[in-house]
């Protein structure tokens, strides 16, 4: 049965049981070894030095074996705890539907990436992508269809991310975010257009029919001391500009947005 340790009292009781077990086994095994080697004649004449030396050797050997066995078991438990913490950290940073990073995972990965870009003096680009008319998809076909659309768009973004080393996340709802380091404005726009076209070409099976959806993308390019929150805000403004202009398009944040954000 698995040991439940929930309180400090449980810790103390568990420790006391382990100490008692170790001490008890040491006594029993030492006594058994002495009886087997020295015999059961308690009136026999044996040199005191021999008994002391032999007892110390036996007690030390047995204590070491018991300590090693208990330490090995504790190490296995610690290993399981470490793996569990790693898995929990991964789950806490991953969107369970799409398998991409979630907002927390993206922010935690993007901050050091932006810092490294700033130290290296290279540009950083934040993309914000939003599925067009997503609410109407849910209203017409149901939330299961909406989930299929999200997974389909995530597949397209994941493919680009693997090819070009892009940090990609489902940032919330039907919004996706991406970060690229060391590219120019023209390269960023070309990359965003490739994503937009790939998403528009993606066929998503809903019921017995295939549907196509489009996305709008806003992005901002920064070189210098600009923090993540500011860049996300600017890219989001560019995204909504793309929405206002008719959707299914790419818009780069203008210089004025960079100055007033």
Please confirm, yes or no, whether 174 is among the known catalytic residues.
yes
Q: What does the pLDDT read at residue 261?
A: 45
Model pTM above 0.75 = no
CA 209 to CA 31: how far, in whole Å?
Answer: 80
Q: Which CATH superfamily is domain 103-260 in?
A: Reverse transcriptase/Diguanylate cyclase domain (3.30.70.270)
Alpha-helical regions (H) of the chain: 8-38, 48-92, 103-120, 134-141, 143-164, 185-201, 228-244, 255-260
Cα separation values, 58 from 21, 28, 62, 139, 161, Å: 18, 11, 6, 78, 62
Q: Which of 155, 174, 208, 211 is catalytic?
A: 174
Q: What does the pLDDT read at residue 178?
A: 96
Given a cut of 70, the residues of the chain with pLDDT beneath it are 1-6, 34, 38, 41-44, 46-48, 50-51, 55, 225, 255-261
Element (DSSP H or E) covering residue 170 = strand 167-172
Sketch the domain layout of the chain as residue ranges.
8-92, 103-260
Q: What does the pLDDT read at residue 225?
A: 66
Q: What is the pLDDT of residues 86-103, one digit of tens each?
A: 778 778 889 999 999 999
Number of residues in the chain? 261
Q: What does the pLDDT read at residue 85?
A: 81
Fill in the DSSP letter of residue 94: B
Q: What does the pLDDT read at residue 205?
A: 85
CA 115 to CA 227: how far, in whole Å?
Answer: 9
- Name all contacts of 68-73 with Cβ < 8 Å and 24+ positions apart: 70/18, 70/22
């Amino acid at each position: 049965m698995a040991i439940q340790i929930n309180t400090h009292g449980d810790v103390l009781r568990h420790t006391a049981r382990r100490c008692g077990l170790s001490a008890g086994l040491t006594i029993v095994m030492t006594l058994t070894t002495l009886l087997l080697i020295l015999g059961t004649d308690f009136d026999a004449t044996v040199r005191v030095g021999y008994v002391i030396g032999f007892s110390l050797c036996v007690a030390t050997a047995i204590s070491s074996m018991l300590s090693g066995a208990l330490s090995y078991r504790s190490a296995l438990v610690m290993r399981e705890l470490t793996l569990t913490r790693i898995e929990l950290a991964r789950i806490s940073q991953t969107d369970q539907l799409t398998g991409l990073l979630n907002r927390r995972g993206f922010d935690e990965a993007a901050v050091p990436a932006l810092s490294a870009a700033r130290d290296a003096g290279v540009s950083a680009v934040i993309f914000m992508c939003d599925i067009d008319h997503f609410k109407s998809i849910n209203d017409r076909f149901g939330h299961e269809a909406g989930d299929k659309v999200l997974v389909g768009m995530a597949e397209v973004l994941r493919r680009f991310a693997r090819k070009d080393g892009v940090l990609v996340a489902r940032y919330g709802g039907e919004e996706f975010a991406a970060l690229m380091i060391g590219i120019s404005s023209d390269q960023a726009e070309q990359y965003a257009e490739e994503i937009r076209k790939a998403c528009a070409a993606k066929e998503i099976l809903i019921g017995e029919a295939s549907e196509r959806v489009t996305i709008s993308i806003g992005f901002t390019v920064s070189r210098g001391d600009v923090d993540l929150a500011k860049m996300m805000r600017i890219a989001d403004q560019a995204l909504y500009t793309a929405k206002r202009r008719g959707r299914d398009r790419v818009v780069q944040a203008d210089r004025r947005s960079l100055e007033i954000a």
